[in-house]
Copies of this chain bind each other. A is one copy, B any other.
């Protein structure tokens, strides 16, 4: 299979004009072919095909959707070495990482297949009729979750597979029964096309209408704008920069019928190290932190960019150990020039803020996208006074915030903006004394981590990958884990309908866990 530079629209390869080429971040050289730029007509065809699938309820059979998700995983695995070779060229990611991410992507698809089969996402609630109730009878009421309709997916550049065209957003939208129109990422359009072809084949494999999936390529903001503004789009999922996410969110809010943009925009993921933990596990924490910051050259949305410590007798040694672990390694290659420049600029900006000092910088490396680590420090008062210091530094940099006492941690927590994660290193004794800190952090983050590090986002049922603004646009939803489906479902109540007209899971005697007349029941007998 070769990469053609086309759009994949409802089962068809659509050629077009454009100037976009991928650039190898290691060599700086352009890659073939040239990719088409989606037109308003391309977008319209893709969205209307998706809408037709939705309105005809062609994707309403959960078993068939489970098979689609499994077929997608198989098709992606069958891409074999071609996707890895192209991925390494487009992203500079090492082979093992790219292959590992493919494994995670296929795991996600299969996880959603199992969730769709088992059905816990349906959350059926049934209240049977009480015709003799006084003063008024109760009708039969059945509440179930229904697919919201076509979803536009904007993948991330830092996880070209796991948060890409076949990533968690597409998997969860499909799992919910929603057709997907994906926008290819201009940094890795070849990977997008290969994955898109795999998804297109999977749709065909299991006999869904082709409108269940389309891939639109393009590098201009217009493509994304027109896609989000199309009235047939019912929700948008985005992973990427704050500027990009908020821009799409505004566009979607300004539609005649506004829709949600579930944007995951990353965060600084603060880590608080309490004195006893520092005393007993200083070196382990320094090394773990450095590894977490350096993972993927700092290009993880859960990369810990702010580390809060007490400036006590351990601080100096901690600084040295963290500096040694973080900055002695060679530079890494970032995903593309824009990200590398963004990292460099963010560090330079931070250094200009009052009270910020450079502790150490790692070797800058060669190559257009090379980036060395940075470790900066600032005192408590300067940090508290300057919200600009909280800006995410997307890359392998960390800012040490040095407090005079653990009590000042409360003030740091209080001024923090919304985060994906917040981490506490503490003894159990310290933890029990710092409940107010946990309360503040709970208000500011979607996931709290104890005595570990925030990178490594488990794809399961108990994950929350989404925090208060501006980490995500809405803290009530997650973009990782099975609950990601909930973003694309809405509750509908059926009142007084005969069994045959109800969704399967709401019918009398349907299987699965349901809430019936105020009680949980494993298999229904309403």
CB distance from A235 to the nearest CB of B (A): 10
Known pairs A141-B458, A462-B125, A464-B491; A498 contacts B146 (CB<8 A): no
CB distance from A140 to the nearest CB of B (A): 9
Binary contact track A124-135/B, C-beta < 8 Å → 1, others 0:
011100000001
Q: Are B462 and A490 in contact (CB under 8 A)?
A: no
Identify whether the interface residues of A are mostly helix, strand, loop, or mixed: mixed
A438 contacts the other chain (CB 8 A) = yes
Known pairs A55-B439, A143-B461, A443-B149; A491 contacts B495 (CB<8 A): no
Q: Are A491 and B446 in contact (CB under 8 A)?
A: yes
A522 contacts the other chain (CB 8 A) = yes
Q: Are B127 and A446 in contact (CB under 8 A)?
A: no
B56, B462, B475: the one contacting A126 at CB < 8 Å is B462
> CB-nearest residue of chain B relative to A60?
B439
Known pairs A143-B463, A443-B149; A475 contacts B490 (CB<8 A): yes
- Chain B hits for A54, CB < 8 A: 443
CB distance from A418 to the nearest CB of B (A): 7
- Chain B hits for A495, CB < 8 A: 447-450, 452
CB distance from A489 to the nearest CB of B (A): 8
Number of copies: 2
- CA of A493 to CA of B127, assembled, Å: 31
> CB-nearest residue of chain B relative to A470?
B257
- CA of A148 to CA of B438, assembled, Å: 15
- Chain B hits for A452, CB < 8 A: 139, 495-496
Binary contact track A441-456/B, C-beta < 8 Å → 1, others 0:
0110111111110001
> CB-nearest residue of chain B relative to A497?
B450
> CB-nearest residue of chain B relative to A434?
B501
- CA of A170 to CA of B452, assembled, Å: 39
> CB-nearest residue of chain B relative to A253?
B253
> Which of A367-375, A397-405, A512-520 lies at the interface?
A512-520
CB distance from A490 to the nearest CB of B (A): 5
- Chain B hits for A450, CB < 8 A: 494-498, 501
A136 contacts the other chain (CB 8 A) = yes
- Chain B hits for A474, CB < 8 A: 260
A500 contacts the other chain (CB 8 A) = yes
B440, B463, B468, B493: the one contacting A493 at CB < 8 Å is B463
- Chain B hits for A470, CB < 8 A: 257
A120 contacts the other chain (CB 8 A) = yes
- CA of A146 to CA of B518, assembled, Å: 22
- CA of A473 to CA of B496, assembled, Å: 26
Q: Are B493 and A462 in contact (CB under 8 A)?
A: yes
- Chain B hits for A468, CB < 8 A: 257, 490
A353 contacts the other chain (CB 8 A) = no
- Chain B hits for A431, CB < 8 A: 497-498, 500-501
- Chain B hits for A443, CB < 8 A: 54-55, 149
Known pairs A253-B253, A460-B127; A447 contacts B138 (CB<8 A): no
> CB-nearest residue of chain B relative to A439?
B57
A183 contacts the other chain (CB 8 A) = no
Using a CB–CB distance below 8 Å, which chain A residues touch chain B?
A: 54-57, 100, 120, 125-127, 135-136, 138-139, 141-143, 146, 148-149, 253, 257-258, 260, 417-418, 428, 431-432, 435-436, 438-440, 442-443, 445-452, 456, 458, 460-464, 468-470, 473-476, 478, 483, 489-498, 500-501, 513, 515, 518, 520, 522
Task: Pick 15 A–B contacts, CB within 8 A, sort by A.
Answer: A55-B436, A57-B435, A141-B458, A141-B462, A143-B464, A257-B417, A257-B469, A258-B473, A442-B492, A446-B490, A448-B497, A450-B497, A461-B518, A468-B490, A483-B491
The 8 closest A-B pairs by CB, nearest first: A464-B493, A141-B462, A143-B462, A447-B493, A127-B462, A450-B496, A125-B462, A450-B497
